[in-house]
């Protein structure tokens, strides 16, 4: 949990680690931690990423290890190895594309633009399932 001392805001650091960049971390005996951010103006906005930064970091690490675009099988393997819902890691891949951090390249080599419409269509029935992703035979890779 993050405590923004000047603002009375509580955030889960697993979902908002960017907030912790300018913080003092105190480890507590129970094994948890309290992160205190001080000197924050009440009018200052909190930078909240548009995607799950932990999953994005895991994907980037995997990409750097292999040097290859991440395919659905890679995302499925990562989700199993780290007890992450497959749906969550695929959604993160889509969000990274939507915000211009990553790209999706189809198996034939063409870059496929990710749009909110495609994302909404795929997720309209709830969580993503394998049958929703049959047209995604390519892979995701970072642009930078």
Q: Is residue 46 part of a domain?
A: no
The answer on 128 and 58 residing in a single domain is yes
d(CA 5, CA 61) in angstroms, rounded, equals 33
The pLDDT of residue 29 is 52
Which SS3 state, helix, strand or coil, does residue 140 take? Answer: strand
Give the separation between CA 30 and CA 18, rounded to whole angstroms.
Answer: 24
In the prediction, which pLDDT does 17 show?
Answer: 47
Residues 22 and 83 in one domain: no
User: In total, how many domains does the chain have?
Assistant: 2
Shared domain for 111 and 82, answered yes or no, is yes
Within a domain: 47: no
First to last CA, the chain: 31
Residues 67 and 134 in one domain: yes
Quick one: pLDDT at residue 144? 80
- According to the model, what pLDDT value does residue 11 have? 47
C-alpha to C-alpha distance for 100 and 114, rounded to whole angstroms: 9
- 26 and 82 belong to one structural domain: no
Q: Extract the residue ranges of the chain whose pLDDT is less than 70.
A: 1-48
Domain that holds residue 73: 53-142
Burial, 94: exposed, middle or buried (Cβ in 10 Å; 0-12, 13-18, 19+)?
buried
Output the six-digit token pair for 143.
């642009």
Tell me, yes or no, whether 68 and 107 share the same domain.
Answer: yes
Tokens encoding 33: 């931690």
Q: Are 33 and 61 contained in the same domain?
A: no
Q: Which residues contact 46 (CB under 8 A, 6 or more apart)?
A: 4, 9, 11, 16, 19
pLDDT digits (tens, 9 = 90+) for 104-125: 999 999 999 988 898 888 888 7
User: How much is the pLDDT for 39?
Assistant: 58
């Amino acid at each position: 949990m993050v405590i923004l001392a000047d603002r009375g805001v509580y955030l889960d650091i697993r979902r908002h680690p960017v907030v912790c960049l300018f913080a003092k971390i105190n480890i507590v005996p129970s094994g948890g931690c309290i992160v205190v951010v001080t000197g924050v103006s009440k009018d200052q906005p909190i930078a909240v990423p548009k995607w799950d930064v932990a999953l994005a970091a895991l994907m980037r690490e995997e990409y750097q290890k292999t040097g290859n675009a991440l395919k659905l099988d890679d995302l499925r393997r990562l989700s199993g190895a780290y007890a992450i819902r497959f749906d969550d890691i695929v959604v993160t891949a889509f969000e990274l594309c939507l915000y211009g951090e990553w790209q999706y390249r189809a198996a034939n080599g063409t870059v496929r633009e990710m749009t909110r419409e495609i994302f909404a269509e795929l997720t309209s029935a709830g969580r993503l399932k394998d049958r929703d992703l049959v047209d995604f035979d390519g892979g995701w890779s970072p642009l930078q």
